[in-house]
Structure 1
Amino acid sequence: MPDISVIIPVYNASEFLEKSVASALPFEEVKEILLIEDCSTDNSLEICMKLTCQYPKVKLFQHADKGNHGAAATRNLGIEMSSCSFIAFLDADDYYLPNRFDVEKEIFNDPKIDGVFGAISVEYLTEKGKQEFQSKFTNVTLTTVNYPAEGKEVFRGLLGLTTKTFGTFFHLNTLTVRKAALQKNKLKFNEILRVHQDSDFIIKLAFQCYLKSGIIDQPIAVRGIHDDNRITKIVRYSPQYNERQFLLWNSLYKWSRKNKPYRDAAQHIYLQKKAFELSTKKGWSKTAALLMAICKDPKILKTKYRFTYTHKA
């Protein structure tokens, strides 16, 4: 049976935290639940302290300066402080379902498997949160992949480079990964990214480690959708959205220059980076940069740039 550290980054999550922790406690394979408190302005820290007193599995950590460092740095601290052979993640406003670790024991009997992932559903906690989520992710009640996949097929699927439609993605809450694989490949969350650091991490992980799909036809965890979900508040193809997308793809581009993924994957990453870089420009400089990009590689017109270019900057 795998021994698992569950890492929960905590920032202003007092309303949800106890339910989140309670969902991870019953699993025999979960040996510790690490609450990494990131300088909340509500009473999350007090709840964390209470939970550590109630449950021996629960441990509390903060950054050395007790400051706010964001989700990426907070998860990185959790990885550093974990003591188990396997790591799982859980957002403080989400929770696990009873089948969360049903396939881990069998799958990790194969030493080549570094990580396993599954499907996640949504629970609408507020009407406003529901409207914001559904306006961006129409009819998406289950975030999953469309077919069983493993190895490089997962990496290529995440970039949309497979012959079949891979699916909507997979969520960090459904990932269980060997800590040794993260250490061997020096994989961490990019602390420059205040959002999308999970997408950045997952794509890099899928190339550098051997991942395999687990339960993908039913949820193993639940996302809580409420008024304060940051990812649903940004208007798609707005200047703020484009800037955040550029930071994500620029991070992947810098990584690809060093790690040399497949040629079509490297090209895809470059074109996405360039498209969102262009979307941040204005006026004649934007037009000139677009024309130069088209001359260099006309495929840029097949990226999301065809949407971002028409948006008023």
Structure 2
Amino acid sequence: MKISVIIPVYNAEKYVSKAVESALQFEEVYEIILVEDKSPDNALEVCKELTEKHDRVKLYQHHDKENHGAGASRNLAIEKSTGDFIAFLDADDYYLPNRFDAEKKLFKNPDVEGVYGAIGVHYYSEKAKEQYYKVFADRLTTVYKKHDPKDVFPGQLNMKGSFGLFSIDALTIRRKSLIKKVKPLFKTHLRLHQDTELLFRSSFYLNFYSGILDEAVAMRGVHENNRITQVDTKKVKPSTSRVMLWREVNSWAENEDSMSQNIKIHIKRMHRSWEIAHAPLLKKWGMIAKYTITDFKNIRSGLYNINFRNELF
């Protein structure tokens, strides 16, 4: 196996060395591609030191050396990659020694286009644990059980009961399949959840198989300044970012001819439920009235989830 590990780097001078070293432990890792995204800290200098120290580490910046976000940074890294497989890693996270154990076996089957596993949580400080333990606890982020590849996409949409969650740090994809079948790659106008949006689309087009689900293969590093914790500050509104995510997914689904009507309706109600839930009060009741009239048959049929129906009745 020749794996290209992709690491977007922003404001991670304290953590990126650990991320890189965790990937270097594997002989299957052919290259580690860092894309430095105009960090406000000293991350660029740390990345340069890593490239000087390790032959397998490569460093890029965007053409204008400006900040473009994690999605654009991952796209650039995919473009520059030369391995047969793509694995992702955030700069403040790290791999465990079993990271590619399942992949080495599963990818011998040419029908396997992606493998997903579980990740754990590492708190970099007591302050971070105090702030975010209620969000992450010590749980694994994982799909709860093995599923047939055809059930992975509807499972992510909560159409298969209690399915669980993907994490991009535990995902490995055949590069050729990703580039050929998933277009565009990461959508750069989404500053948050661009990885979730890609996971939706890629699991629709590609055959995803479960790897190790009962123990972590990577660790999410939680600290006060990583991107995801910015959701809990004034910098990013979680409601807005989720509405934008489902708007994007719904727009894609509406134009995907090979998708079943039932799934399209399900995605539409997810989009509408988020829009309604986070709309101002006056607008919310206008939207409820509109959707009740236009989609009454589908609402009553049970194709809309219970949360959305609670908004309506």
Same fold (TM over 0.5): yes
Q: Does 1:143 align with 2:147?
A: no
Please tell me whether the aligned partners of residues 269 and 308 of structure 2 are also in contact (alpha carbons under 8 angstroms): no
CA shift, 1:152, in A, is 1.7
Number of the residue aligned with 1:266? 264
Q: Does 1:180 align with 2:176?
A: yes
SS of match in other structure, 2:101: coil
Identify the range of structure 1 (206-215 vs 275-284) with the bigger mean alpha-carbon deviation: 275-284
Asked if residue 303 in structure 1 is aligned to residue 299 in structure 2, the reply is: no
Matches of 2:252 and 2:21 in 1, distance apart? 37
SS in 1 for 2:237: helix
| Structure 2 residue aligned with 1:91 | 90
Equivalences for residues 1-313 of structure 1 within 5 A: 2-137=1-136, 139=137, 141-162=139-160, 164-167=161-164, 169-185=165-181, 186-234=183-231, 240-260=237-257, 261-297=259-295, 299=299, 302-303=306-307
Give, in whole Å, the separation in 2 of the partners of 1:184 and 1:176: 16
The alignment partner of 2:108 has SS state of coil
Give the conservation status (yes or no) of the 8 Å contact 2:33–2:81: yes
The residue matched to 1:259 in structure 2 has which SS? coil
Counterpart amino acid of residue 170 in structure 1 = F
Deviation, 1:247, is 0.5
Q: Select between 121-130 and 110-119 the one with higher mean Cα deviation.
A: 121-130
Aligned residues with identical type, % of pairs: 42
TM-score of the superposed pair, with normalisation by structure 2: 0.91
- Paired residue type of 2:222: I
| CA distance in structure 2 between the aligned counterparts of 1:53 and 1:283, rounded to whole angstroms | 56
- Paired with 2:67 and 2:108, the residues of 1 have a C-alpha distance of 39
Structure 1 runs not aligned, ≥5 long: none
What is the one-letter code of the residue matched to 1:270?
K
Give the superposed CA RMSD: 2.1
Unaligned runs of 5+ in 2: none
Distance 1:9 1:217, change over 3 A: same
Q: Which amino acid in structure 1 is aligned with residue 203 of structure 2? A: A
Could you tell me how far 1:284 is from its partner in structure 2?
Answer: 2.9
For this pair of structures, how many residues does the alignment match? 302
Question: Which amino acid is the alignment partner of residue 61 of structure 2?
Answer: Q
Q: What is the alpha-carbon distance in structure 2 between the residues aligned to residue 301 and residue 223 of structure 1?
A: 30
Distance 2:295 2:126 in 1: 44
Q: Deviations over 1:226-245 (max 9, x none)?
A: 11233345359xx9222111
Provide the rounded CA distance (Å) in 2 between the counterparts of 1:131 and 1:153: 37
Contact map agreement 1:114 1:209 (CA 8 A) in 2: yes
**Is the Cα–Cα contact under 8 Å of residues 132 and 232 in structure 1 kept in the other structure?**
no
* Deviations, residues 245-295 of structure 1 (Å, cap 9, x unaligned): 110001101111122423222112111111222344324333112111122
How far is the alpha carbon of 1:187 from its aligned partner? Answer: 4.3
- Please tell me whether the aligned partners of residues 271 and 303 of structure 1 are also in contact (alpha carbons under 8 angstroms): no
